[in-house]
């Protein structure tokens, strides 16, 4: 029925350049708020009574050993997985558990996947164009035209992510690092209020990592950013506040130097990492 409605809804023509104002209400506190969230798969508790608060404009790193529930947490926030119990609020007005993925996305939550997922058959330019904040209903999409202003916005982002020369190449031929960048660029086109970034530097060289770090820290302030990462060096270079997940709940939270001294953290995570490095 909604399709018919959107087909009939012809009087509303959006100007793509008006940034879509996120309706999120952050006057009374944090932008993201998870309370007592629990989810299990086949009896296995992936997340257990997880509590997490992200403030507006914050850059938060989330670390934890394999199976700590980092990706599952992202799935819950973006509506891909429904928790068995708990509450998830975006600002003080939006209950994310009542919404589906596109609704959550259009509220201003952008997500970068663990595996870089770009549209490989489409060009860099087209990838960014699709990601751009715009009226994403059927008919406006069908009749959309790529105006000069749209172009310049895309050019801007392409410059930021360093893919200007490759604009007409299909995303499928990009290197792994370039795909990661393209995906971050797509997030930028979305102009989200909250960015969820899952392992942004996987498969990147040292220099690429540095640029990513710059980019993410540059974003914080205007946007809230949550980074899930394994690479401790990278986390140290960008982290202000770090949350350590272990077995589906928060083990420790605080500044990186504090957290890394926490004996429990050292035991479950850093210790494990040290072993890995030895091996």
Residues contributing to the site for another protein (CB under 8 A): 2-3, 6, 13, 41-42, 44, 46, 64, 66-72, 78, 80, 101-102, 105-106, 110-111, 113-122, 126, 129-131, 133, 136-138, 141-146, 170, 172, 176, 186, 190, 199, 202-203, 228, 230
Nearer to another protein, 217 or 231 (CB): 231
Tell me the closest approach of the beta carbon of residue 271 to another protein, in angstroms. 18
Tell me the closest approach of the beta carbon of residue 240 to another protein, in angstroms. 22
Are 131 and 187 in contact, with CB atoms under 8 Å apart? yes
Nearer to another protein, 46 or 213 (CB): 46
Tell me the closest approach of the beta carbon of residue 93 to another protein, in angstroms. 18
Tell me the closest approach of the beta carbon of residue 10 to another protein, in angstroms. 9
Alpha-carbon distances of 190 from 2, 195, 240, 275, rounded to whole Å: 23, 10, 24, 40
Nearer to another protein, 45 or 49 (CB): 45
The DSSP secondary structure of 61-109, one letter per residue, reads EEE--TTSSHHHHHHHHTTSS--SEEEEEETTTEEGGG--HHHHHHHTE
Buried b (16+ CB within 10 A) or exposed e, 26-37: beeebbbbbeeb
Nearer to another protein, 23 or 203 (CB): 203
Which helix (H) or strand (E) is 52 found in, with range? strand 44-54
| CA terminus-to-terminus distance, the chain | 58
Nearer to another protein, 191 or 260 (CB): 191
Tell me the closest approach of the beta carbon of residue 231 to another protein, in angstroms. 11
Are 213 and 238 in contact, with CB atoms under 8 Å apart? yes
């Amino acid at each position: 029925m909604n399709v018919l409605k959107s087909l009939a809804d012809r009087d509303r023509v959006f100007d793509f350049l008006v940034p879509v104002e996120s309706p999120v209400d952050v006057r009374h506190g944090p932008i993201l708020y998870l309370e007592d969230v629990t989810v299990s798969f086949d009896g296995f508790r992936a997340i257990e009574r997880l509590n997490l608060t992200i403030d507006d404009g914050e850059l938060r790193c989330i670390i934890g050993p394999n199976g700590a529930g980092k990706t599952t947490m992202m799935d819950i926030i973006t509506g891909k997985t429904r928790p068995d119990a708990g509450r998830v609020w975006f600002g003080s007005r939006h209950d994310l558990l009542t919404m589906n993925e596109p609704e959550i996305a259009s509220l201003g939550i952008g997500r970068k996947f663990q595996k870089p997922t770009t549209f490989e058959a489409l060009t860099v330019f087209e990838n960014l164009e699709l990601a751009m904040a715009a009226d994403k209903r059927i008919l406006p999409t069908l009749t959309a035209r790529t105006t000069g202003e749209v172009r310049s916005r895309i050019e801007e982002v392409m410059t930021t992510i360093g893919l200007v020369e490759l604009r007409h190449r299909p995303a499928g031929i990009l290197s792994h690092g370039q795909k990661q960048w393209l995906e971050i660029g797509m997030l930028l086109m979305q102009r989200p209020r909250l960015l969820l970034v899952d392992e942004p530097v996987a498969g990147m060289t040292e220099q690429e990592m540095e640029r990513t770090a710059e980019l993410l820290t540059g974003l914080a302030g205007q946007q809230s950013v949550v980074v899930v990462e394994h690479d401790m060096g990278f986390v140290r270079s960008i982290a202000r506040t770090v949350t350590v997940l272990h077995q589906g709940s928060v083990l420790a939270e605080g500044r990186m130097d504090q957290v890394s001294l926490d004996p429990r953290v050292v035991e479950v995570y850093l210790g494990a990492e040290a072993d890995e490095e030895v091996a």
